[in-house]
């Protein structure tokens, strides 16, 4: 057996072992169809969530952050205004508004743009004992710090300070809510991690961090880092290894035309499964890996087809069977 065949056989053995190892890892990490534990994709920050009875009659702001597989994040929620606050600020006539003041995400950048969240009109049930007003927040996308193109190693950061206010002439009157809770409910592939101070949130290894950067965030400030689960990265690795099966078949066959078609179909299916169909030619880094595999399989298949055709022509000229 030639050295090339031995190397090819060793690579094939390693590929099979890696496939089975990743399969066993994902199987053990599975929890009733979820990757990891039931609460690994959930977190909260701010005021601890309270029961309806404990929070009755208090000013409350509840924010909810969700996402999809492609790293697009949405914010929704609700606000409860106590009867005392409602009458004090005359919110029957003054429109309640919400702004999100971004927390600093880099030592070299000072954020200046605020995100405005529309608050639906407040409603009250005057016939009930609790005459607090209630309103939903209009869902809207939020701008997170991160690159979706880095899939599956994409990490996102989002830090903000929510402030409820209303306009009185040209003046902006801020309302001080003590009970502000952010609930993060990520998809099965993500895990949210709360950051407790600026140094931990920025996470830049340089000398610009000062002592005050290690001071804990205020109760009404929330900073989170959202990362892919390790088990999901293992699934991506396993699917990429599956693409290696038709790739290795190309080197074993004399005329591997069918393996080129198998590679195209498998890459198309895996790409749609992981990040969805191509949208306006937005490319991820993993797309260049897919393209490289297609080019490699196509090149080897074509070279082998050319060599087989040359042998066939030589056989016809010599009158022998090739």
Q: What tokens does 96 get?
A: 């309640």
Question: Considering the entire predicted model, what is its pTM?
Answer: 0.79
Token couple for 246: 């038709």
Cβ atoms of 91 and 166 within 8 Å: the answer is: yes
Q: What are phi and psi of 200, to 5 degrees?
A: -70, -35
Q: What angle do CA 293, 296, 298 make, to 5 degrees?
A: 105
Longest alpha-carbon distance in the chain: 104
What confidence score (pLDDT) does residue 319 get? 66
- How far apart CA 41 and CA 191 sit, in angstroms, is 5
Per-residue pLDDT of the chain (322 residues; tens, 9 = 90+): 677 777 878 888 888 898 888 888 888 887 777 777 767 888 888 877 665 544 566 888 999 999 876 667 899 999 988 888 888 888 888 899 999 999 887 877 777 788 899 999 988 876 666 778 889 999 998 888 888 888 888 889 999 999 999 898 888 888 988 888 999 988 888 899 999 888 888 887 766 777 887 888 888 889 999 998 888 888 899 988 888 888 888 887 777 678 888 888 889 999 888 888 877 778 888 999 999 989 988 888 888 888 877 877 787 777 655 5
Q: What are the residue boundaries of the structural domains of the chain, listed by start?
A: 3-30+232-318, 41-228
The pLDDT value recorded for residue 89 is 87
* Cα angle value 93/97/98 (rounded, 5°): 160
Q: Which three-class secondary structure state does DSSP give residue 308? A: helix
Q: What is the per-residue pLDDT for 79?
A: 92
């Amino acid at each position: 057996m030639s050295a090339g065949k031995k190397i090819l056989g060793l690579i094939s053995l390693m590929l099979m072992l890696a496939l089975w190892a990743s399969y066993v890892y994902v199987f053990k990490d599975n929890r009733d169809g979820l990757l990891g534990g039931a609460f690994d994709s959930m977190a909260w920050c701010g005021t601890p969530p309270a029961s309806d009875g404990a929070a009755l009659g208090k000013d409350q702001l509840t924010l909810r952050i969700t996402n999809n597989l492609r790293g697009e994040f949405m914010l929704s929620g609700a606000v409860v205004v106590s009867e005392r606050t409602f009458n004090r600020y005359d919110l029957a006539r003054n429109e309640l508004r919400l702004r999100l003041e971004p927390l600093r995400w880099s030592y070299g950048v000072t954020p200046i743009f605020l995100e405005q969240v529309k608050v639906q009109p407040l409603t009250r049930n005057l016939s009930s004992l609790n005459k607090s007003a209630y309103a939903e927040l209009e869902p809207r996308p939020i701008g997170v710090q991160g690159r979706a193109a880095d899939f599956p190693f994409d990490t996102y950061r989002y830090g903000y300070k929510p402030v409820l206010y209303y306009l009185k002439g040209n003046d902006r009157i801020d309302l001080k809510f003590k009970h502000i809770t952010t609930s993060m409910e990520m998809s099965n592939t993500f895990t949210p991690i709360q950051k407790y101070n600026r140094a931990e949130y920025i996470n830049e290894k340089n000398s610009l961090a000062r002592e005050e950067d290690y001071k804990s965030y205020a109760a009404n400030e929330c900073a989170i880092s959202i990362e892919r689960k390790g088990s999901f990265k293992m699934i991506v690795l396993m699917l990429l290894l599956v693409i290696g099966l038709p790739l290795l078949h190309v080197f074993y066959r004399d005329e591997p035309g069918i393996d080129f078609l198998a590679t195209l179909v498998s890459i198309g299916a895996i790409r749609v499964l992981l990040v969805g169909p191509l949208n306006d030619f937005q490319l991820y880094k993993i797309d260049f890996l897919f393209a490289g595999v297609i080019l490699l399989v196509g090149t080897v298949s074509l070279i082998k087809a050319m060599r087989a055709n040359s042998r066939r022509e030589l056989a016809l000229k010599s009158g022998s069977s090739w």
